[in-house]
Structures are given as structure tokens and as C-alpha cells.
Structure 1
């Protein structure tokens, strides 16, 4: 049983997400450590997959590095809305066929068995292909309660088939995914791992990405990976990465970090509140009159404290990064404020535009 102070627990969490002063060198190093880089088209400042990398690597990161790692070097792959390191492929491929699906989704797949077969035959013959080049021969349409899908069933079916390992994403043209058979996309990957062993591997990698997490949490999925820990002032049962414990004395210090709202550091909201005293609410889907901090405010971490939210956006012509506000949530000194402003100016430089509205 490890007994950690709250400061130690926060340092472990920050370092696990590569948000301390010791920056990683490239996107592969980022993906190997944090396990998954979220893909999302919302680009108020930059798409999440790009800003997640920039937040960690800094000025040395160029957007083309990510697509090269995925499509040319094949060191990363796209699965279930994230870019992931190729080292996770054996474990993920072992569990893909047994992924849990809701009853309605299973019924949809069963009713469209012929449609699924036709997609596989088309990809085998003509792939790789974008969804737009695959005909919709579905017998039944999926319910569209979320409003995310149109009448064409091809994108929906491809996503489900990808989740189950029947098809794979070989690359993108712009933001349009290109699909192919997994044996071509994942060529050379061993998929013979036992599913139970695969689950154990994945739980360990999730804990590596978090550093410390609640043992029984649907947000983290670490199970009994790592070792038991207590955190000062918390009644939760924690699991901690033993390598993170061993590295506690090797502290490179903190820095300012601007986090995309879909950053993995923010995903486990209960942990965020328990460890950091920070309750983050994404206001993107709130009516305008109910927003307090802005449509897509980016949390700002200084050291191991969440101290502010950045409300900023590229203007319509994408010629300026316009700062509407830096909402300070905690007391910060002049040096910390300058660190934040310097990071915002660096963000504008990375985007290739001047920053407007920063005091």
C-alpha cells in the first residue's frame, strides 16, 4: 500500500500525461505514453488531435507529423475515434470481436448481415475506399436519436464494423476516412493474444496513461492494474503505476499547459475533482445564455493546479487568434500569469497568426 500526499498524487497524474516541464520529442512518444489521442473536428482553435500533440511537444510539433506517423510509418493507427500506438494493436485486435454492443445495435447488425458482407466484398475487390464510394444496400436503418448520422447507412455500418475489427481505417483525405480490410491495414500485427491477457495489458496501459486512478471507475478502466494506494484526504481506493512511484523523486518541475476540452487529462471528471479540486463543464452544448466561460473554453494547468480557462478562437478568416477572456479560477501570481500569456502567444505562433485581445 502506497501512501501519497495530494501533491504527490497530482504530480503523478500530470507527469503521466506528459504535462510537466520534461516535454516529449514526437507524436509517437506522446501516443505510447498517453495511449490515445482524441480525434474531433471541432476547431475553435485547432482540432483536438493537433492541439493534444502541441500541448505536450510544443514549438517542435508540426501537424504533418501525425499523419506521417499514421499513414506512412504505421507507428500509430486510428481506432474508435482516437489515434493509438501500434504497440496496442495485438491487445485491441484480440478483444475487438467480443466488444459489447447494445441489443438494438446487435439487431441492426443482424438485420443488415448481407449489407456487411457486401461492404467486405467491395473493400476486398476495390479498397481502400472512402465511405462515399461504397453503396448503401442496407435493409434496415439505425435509429438516429443523437442526430449525428444522415440517412446513408454506410458511415454508421463502417464504424460498427471497425469497432468489431471487421474493417480498418487506412488513412484520411482531409478529414474523410479511407477504409480497407484489417489484414491489409494491420499487416504484420500478431492478433493471436488471448482476450483475457489482452484485457490485462490494456488495463495496465490505461493506468500508465493516468499514473493514478480510482480502482472501480468506468472512466478509467484500470481495474486492479498497478499497486494499491491511499491519497491524503481521499476515501477512494486508488491504483497507482509503480513506475510513476519510482520516478517521484525525479521531478522536472511544472509549466503552463493549455488543454483542449477533449484532452485525455480531462476525461475522468470525478478524478479531476477529487485530485485537483477542478470541476470542468464543457459548455459547447449549452445554450449561449447559460455559458459562463465560453463555447469551447480550454482549461489551463500551471504546475499541478488548474488555475484558469482560456476563451479564445480563430476569427472567421483564420487570420487572428482572438482572446475573449482568460478566466482566472484560482489565485495566481505575476510570474504564473506571464507563463500563461507566454503559452498563449506560443499557441498563436504555432498557428501562424497574431494573438489579439491578450492584456
Structure 2
């Protein structure tokens, strides 16, 4: 088999193109999420929630968060699963992976013991759904064992476990609280049931189409793993160890870059090892560090310029004051005048989208 030999420039451009961060911008929200496969739901809103930041980075200021809500809760062209928004066509594979490849024996035992609890929830949702978790009685036989924040949160833990296995679905939200219902009232009626092998193939192919270039496997990363298995074709990238998998449809395409401010959870930089090897870019989300130990800021936004990651934006949205406070723009490489102007334009666009005025440096 042919092994593609790529320069780092080529590898970067493939990754950027796959993530819809080149020019021209995409224009359709649902098509963007379908390409990305997932939008991570994270409550941190130092600037804006992750899902909204990711979509703004692609669609620009034409993006309205109400459009995402409409797609998920009314049109059902997208669906919310536990921790992510996804295209409906990916849901069967996600369910099959959890259902048929359970990696947490303690969860299997807990669900078995609490089978009457599961039946109670399904009967209640059939009769009265959709419901918030606070409206679901806790009839658990055995509490969820945890010393952390999930300790004794039996209803939420059961609802999430059932959603991951396709027994219930998230139908909408009331603020940050989720409405739960039966999946047949939420998901399209024609979704297939996949076996584990078909699910794994689907997920690998879709993941590589979203990432463009990825390792076949690697260390476990919480959430959506950034690995492609045997999808795509083999490649080597100059100056990086080992081999990669590359999506052949992205090879040799013309590239037109642009400037973008990214969420710290953006899939372009989510795999920190890949970011260092291909982009030569170091990034750590520092919101969990003491203030005095931060280099780049509480919620620093990676800065993409053409086919390079060139810095970090330390900014905070002060909605009471009506300002986007720019604390610093950290330059990983010395900015040219053109780079600086492009970054300032993106900061201005971000502030305008948020309805804020820019203050600070």
C-alpha cells in the first residue's frame, strides 16, 4: 500500500481544512456540525460557551446561538447526547460502542442491581415525559458509589447511563437543566441499530473526516478520542515519529488560510500531542491553575493565522460592564504587521458578536 509522505505544512493544512477553519467560511450550521461530528458542551463561559465559540469560529458573526437551540430542540436536525451535540446519524454508533463495549464493570453491576429503578424511569417518561431530573423520583436500590461530585446523584447518573445506552434521550433544556424523554420522541424514526464492528468502523471514518489527519491509536483521553484506527490511508509527516492516518479526499487540495480565535476545547488543538507535533504549538488550559501560575490566562483562546497557531488571546467577557476585556495577546512568534491587524480584526469581530466593546490592550 502507498504511504503518503507529507510535510508539516501539508499536514497542518489538511487538519485546518478538515476542521473548516480555512477560507472561505462555511455557511450552514448543521453542515458544520456534521463535518465536526461533535460540539462539546461545557458550562465555562468566560467568553462564551464552547459550542457557541466553536460555531462562531467557523461561521463568523452570522452565527446566532438561538439557531443551535432550534436545530436541537425543534428541527431535530441535531441532537444533544451526554456532553455533546451531534448529528443524528452518529447516534447509533455512539450507543453501540457503550452498549457492547462496556469498559466500567462497576457501572454494569450498578445498572443490574438498579433494574427496577430503570423500569420506573422509563414508565414515568412514557406517561409524563419530557421531564427534568428533579421531577424523577429516586427509587434506586443501591446509591451510586462515588466520593466525588456525583456521589448519591442517583437520578442524574441513571439518566445519563440510560442515554448513553439509547434507552432515554435529551429532548431540550431549561437553562442548564436537561429535559429527558423516550428516544423515539427525540431521534429520527429510521435510525439503524448497529453492531459493535459496524459502529467502530463508522466512528473511525467519521472521526478521521473531522480531523483530517490523526494517529491510529494512543493514550486514553477523556471524552471523544482523537484516534482513527485503520480509517483512511497511512502517512508519515516529516519531523514526527511513527505513522499517521490521513483522509485521502483532503490530499493535494488548494489551501486558503484565514485568521481565527479558537475555543480551548476546539478539536483542532484538543489533542495536545498532535498540536505539538504538527503545529509545534504548546497549549494548556489554565483555568484550574492558581492565578499566579498561569502563563497565558484563565481561558486563553488559541490564535490561528493561515496554517500556523501563532499565539493565545487572554480575554474575558464582562457582561455587566458591556466589555470584552483583553488582558494580553501572547505572541508565540513575533507578529508581523499583517498578523497583528488580522488578530485585532478577529478580536473586534468577537466583541461585536458578543455585543460588547473591546477594552484593554
Corresponding residue number in structure 2 for 1:330: 333
Q: Distance in 1 between matches of 2:103 and 2:115?
A: 16
Partner SS, residue 72 of structure 1: helix
Q: 5+ unaligned residues in a row in structure 1: which ranges?
A: none
Cα distance change, pair 80–318 in 1 and its aligned pair in 2 (3 A): farther
Q: Deviations over 1:301-354 (max 9, x none)?
A: 111211111111112616111111111111220110110011001000000111
Which of 127, 130, 145 aligns to 1:128? It is 130
Q: How does 1:82-231 map to 2 (within 5 A)?
A: 82-147=84-149, 149=150, 151-217=152-218, 218=220, 219-231=225-237
- What is the aligned residue count? 354
Alpha-carbon offset, residue 60 of structure 1: 1.2
Q: Distance in 2 between matches of 1:143 and 1:274?
A: 40
Corresponding residue number in structure 2 for 1:262: 265
Q: Distance in 2 between matches of 1:318 and 1:63?
A: 21
The 8 Å contact of residues 141 and 153 in structure 1, kept in 2 or not, is answered as yes
Partner SS, residue 173 of structure 2: strand
The 8 Å contact of residues 284 and 295 in structure 1, kept in 2 or not, is answered as yes
Q: Does 1:235 align with 2:220?
A: no
Q: Distance in 2 between matches of 1:29 and 1:58?
A: 15
Partner SS, residue 59 of structure 1: helix
Q: Distance in 2 between matches of 1:187 and 1:59?
A: 30
Large movers: runs of 4+ above 4 Å = none
Which of 320, 323, 346 aligns to 2:323? It is 320
Corresponding residue number in structure 2 for 1:56: 58
Q: Distance in 2 between matches of 1:356 and 1:153?
A: 45
Alpha-carbon offset, residue 24 of structure 1: 0.9
Corresponding residue number in structure 2 for 1:305: 308
Corresponding residue number in structure 2 for 1:349: 352
The 8 Å contact of residues 98 and 164 in structure 1, kept in 2 or not, is answered as no
Partner SS, residue 62 of structure 2: coil
Q: 5+ unaligned residues in a row in structure 2: which ranges?
A: none
Partner SS, residue 65 of structure 1: helix
The 8 Å contact of residues 88 and 188 in structure 2, kept in 1 or not, is answered as no
Q: TM-score, normalised by structure 2?
A: 0.94
The 8 Å contact of residues 233 and 245 in structure 2, kept in 1 or not, is answered as yes
Q: What's the RMSD between the two structures over aligned residues?
A: 1.6
Which of 337, 342, 345 aligns to 1:339? It is 342
